Amino acid sequence: RYMSVYNDLSALGSELSKLTGIRKIIVVKGDADENTETVTLLGIEASRYLQSLLCPDMTVTVTGGSSTASIASHLAELPFDVTFTPARGGLGEDMIHQANFIVAKMAEFTGGHYETLYVPDQVSEKTYKNLIEEPSVRSVLDQIKSADIVVHGIGDASKMAARRRTDPEVRALLKQNHAVGEAFGYYYDKKGNIVYKVRTIGLQREDVLTKEHIIAVAGGTSKTEAISAYLRIAPPQTTLITDEAAAKQLLKAL
């Protein structure tokens, strides 16, 4: 029984990756909106995939969110060193959803290193410019730019704006521009046009485009529209770890 379910899900993943043109789509059982077990499965599969890519002295840059957070505790101790860096500074998230917290956990489980990036969202242009010239901030930014692997979540646009306590004016703008999804601070509409970008330092879309490996982790029926829109602009070297519920809806939408 388990084998046949697994085979169906892996066939579904292959079909979707063929249709979307991205490297690989791994589908886990269930619906992340409905049960936490599915969130755990997303974390297990993403950690397994990430571990298969890791080599000595690699740098992995990671965004915040509950999906990327689910990866950390499934990572096993590594016989070599890897550095984990937060992808973007100060996206206004709660502590447990922050990339700074997640990379610290990833380093703890693998026995690797981590860096932190604390940059508040609401600073004056002058403070902002001074801040990014700080040597400690600079060095993390350089590591993000040269990272070998990006791990990121994909969120529903309005949920992300609410979670980040985004200004009402920005929320109105997102609505007006029909934003459906969000990934690493970029909000986009259903065709994948970027309609708004959170002003913070760190990983930019142009950096993502040149990475050799990109792992996107997102599941749940409620994220179908966000995932489907993001897949229109996802670099081909992306591997998506998603769940059955989202994958089935994606197949219908394509």
Token pair 């969202």 in the structure block, residue: 121
Residue 92, interface with ligand BG6 (CB under 6 A)? no
**Token pair in block for residue 248:** 């089935």
What is the side-by-side strand order in the sheet with 155-156? 155-156, 179-183, 186-189, 194-197
Residue 184, interface with ligand BG6 (CB under 6 A)? yes
d(CA 247, CA 142): 35
Residue 196, interface with ligand BG6 (CB under 6 A)? no
Say if CB 42 and CB 217 are below 8 A apart.
Answer: yes
The contact mask relative to ligand BG6 for 36-65 (x = CB under 6 A, - = no) is: ---------------------------xxx
Please identify, among the stretches 14-22, 110-118, 140-148, 152-160, the one whose residues bind ligand BG6 according to the rule CB under 6 A: 152-160
Longest pairwise C-alpha distance within the chain: 61
d(CA 196, CA 213): 25
Token pair 């079909």 in the structure block, residue: 15
The contact mask relative to ligand BG6 for 160-179 (x = CB under 6 A, - = no) is: x-------------------
Residue nearest to ligand BG6 (CB): 65
Residue 182, interface with ligand BG6 (CB under 6 A)? yes
Residue 97, interface with ligand BG6 (CB under 6 A)? yes
Residue 93, interface with ligand BG6 (CB under 6 A)? yes
